[in-house]
Homo-oligomer: A and B are copies of this chain.
Amino acid sequence: MSFNTFGNLLKLTTFGESHGAAIGGIIDGFPAGVSIDLEAIQKELDRRKPGQSKIVTQRKEPDTVEFLSGIFEGKTTGTSIGFVIRNTNQKSKDYSHNTNVYRPSHADYTYDKKYGIRDHRGGGRSSARETANWVVAGALAKQFISQISINAFTSSVGEIEMNKDYSQLDFSKTESNIVRCPDEEMAEQMIDKIKEIRKQGDTIGGTITCVAQNIPVGLGEPIFHKLHADLGKAMLSLNAVKGFEFGSGFEGTKMMGSQHNDIFNEDGSTQTNLSGGIQGGISNGMDIYFRVAFKPVATIMQNQATIDSEGNATEIMGKGRHDPCVVPRAVPVVEALTALVLADFYLLNRTRKA
């Protein structure tokens, strides 16, 4: 069993606490002979890093990845790829007030009860800092399955919600604004909303939509590794996620079969795509699209009642530097996990026919 391993044939195993010496991981099963563009990897990390804009945490950390093995003269060698990202800007004293206090809706209480011990500095292992590891691995996976294009974007912030039809969007605009919404008008509203919420010392939730295109038919294993099940599990592994839906999603529950069925064209494509590109757990070549729900960040800059580890009532107020909305920085993470899942099934698919 692997508590810290993601993937089946292409595996990422990770370690690292928010305020330890470093975080990092090992990527196993990556095929040999893939040319690696290290700058492209760092660029993905930069999309996730703190301090990149005024609507995210102001903590500054370079998040530089160092590869320690598995890449030789610019190519993967087929051996395991080890990497570390040093933690350079830990202000552990920002958390010293938390040592014995449980932050509401955080993992403090549950870690303590589960393990009987907890690294309280910055959330320890429960910190979303871990997702930098995922971005590294996902960026490598993207280079392996470069024919597939994966585009995630912020599709709602609080009640500000985009139309679900993504067909008119220009994904190249996602990076043109700090909230990562390809509809620039909506983007502005979202940014304003986040700024307003931050002023109140509060936080807000949102959703990310992800679209994967140019998918080969046949990805996914049809019983316990359905493509959407593995994607869903990946997304539900991301901090603050409360829900996942693909294709018609929850709306689809209100439809009738005669409305919902995707009728075939003669080339095997379908006229509609309520299936979200996956039928029977297997990709059918149409776009894969899904939506991920993020709750508001639990750390707020307001006074909250809570308890300490002895069960005594006390109060807490967020210190440190936190995101008012997790969604903009989670966009590259959603893409990274999607790339990992697709690359895994892509490799696996080579073994399914005689």
Cβ–Cβ contact B104 & A217, under 8 A: no
On chain B, the residues within 8 Å of A274 by CB distance are 105, 295
Q: How large is the interface on A (under 10, 10 to 19, 20 to 34, 35 or more residues)?
A: 35 or more
Identical copies in the complex: 4
A residues with CB within 8 A of B: 1-6, 8-9, 11, 13-17, 20-26, 28-29, 31-34, 66-70, 72, 75-82, 84, 102, 104-107, 109-111, 113-119, 124-126, 130, 144, 156, 158-159, 197, 200, 202-207, 217-218, 220-226, 228-230, 232-233, 236-237, 242-250, 252-268, 270, 274-276, 279-284, 293-300, 302, 304-307, 311-313, 347-354
A9-B351, A115-B352, A353-B33 known; A295 vs B253 contact (CB < 8 Å): yes
CA distance A4 to B28 in the complex (A): 7
A289–chain B nearest beta-carbon distance, Å: 12
Query: Shortest CB–CB separation between residue A206 and chain B, in angstroms?
Result: 5
- Docked CA distance A124–B78 (Å): 11
Given A125-B222, A266-B313, output 13 extra A-B contacts at Cβ < 8 Å. A17-B72, A22-B68, A32-B117, A32-B353, A75-B117, A104-B262, A109-B268, A109-B284, A158-B255, A243-B246, A245-B293, A259-B296, A350-B351
Which residue from chain B places its CB closest to the CB of A102 in the assembled complex? B264
Q: Are B13 and A293 in contact (CB under 8 A)?
A: no
Least CB distance, A212 to chain B, in whole angstroms: 16
Q: Which B residue's beta carbon lies closest to that of A15? A: B82
Assembly CA distance A242 to B252 (angstroms)? 8
Shortest A155–chain B CB gap in Å is: 10
Min CB gap A261→B, angstroms: 4
Q: Are A1 and B4 in contact (CB under 8 A)?
A: no
Q: How far is the CA of A66 from the CA of B24 in the complex (A)?
A: 13
